[in-house]
Amino acid sequence: MGFLDGLLGNAAKIDPAKIQQEFAPILAPGESVQHAYQLIRDYFVFTDKRFVLVDKQGLTGSKVEYHSIPYKSITHFSVETAGTFDLDAELKIWISGTEAPIQKQFNKKLSIYEVQAVLASYVLR
């Protein structure tokens, strides 16, 4: 998987070392990137301390929002797989203190099970 997969709507696995360098300004001392996925321009980053949703905004993507979620704040999450006529899979994450979940949609070709397994490995510690 690579850049072309990201453009086509598939989640592309990214080398954690590459993201470690890019995220250096926002990482806590000693924090390390463990897993990273790219969906078009957005990222899903799993560090050893938190889950970071990266939303690149605007035409150039120069405006970036980093949504940091400590794993202990995730109360529950769900995965809805794509169906026959519904081509998108969906990940929903509920955070303590909020009613509405964070929702992200993925192309049917994405192994949403892999993303869910990584999320579960951190949340269920």
What is the per-residue DSSP string for 8-41? TT-EEE--HHHHHHHHTTTSPTT--EEEEEEETT
Supply the pLDDT for residue 40: 76
Supply the pLDDT for residue 31: 96
CA pseudo-torsion sign 54, 77, 1, 58: negative
* DSSP-derived secondary structure letter, 109: T
Q: 11-44, pLDDT tens digit by residue?
A: 678 899 999 998 999 999 999 999 998 877 788 8
* DSSP-derived secondary structure letter, 101: P
pTM assigned to the model: 0.81
CA distances from 96 to 5, 76, 99, 119, 124 (A): 33, 9, 8, 16, 15
Supply the pLDDT for residue 75: 95
Low-confidence ranges of the chain (pLDDT < 50): 1-9
Question: Look-up: residue for tokens 């081509």?
Answer: 87
Pairing of strands 63-70, 50-57: antiparallel
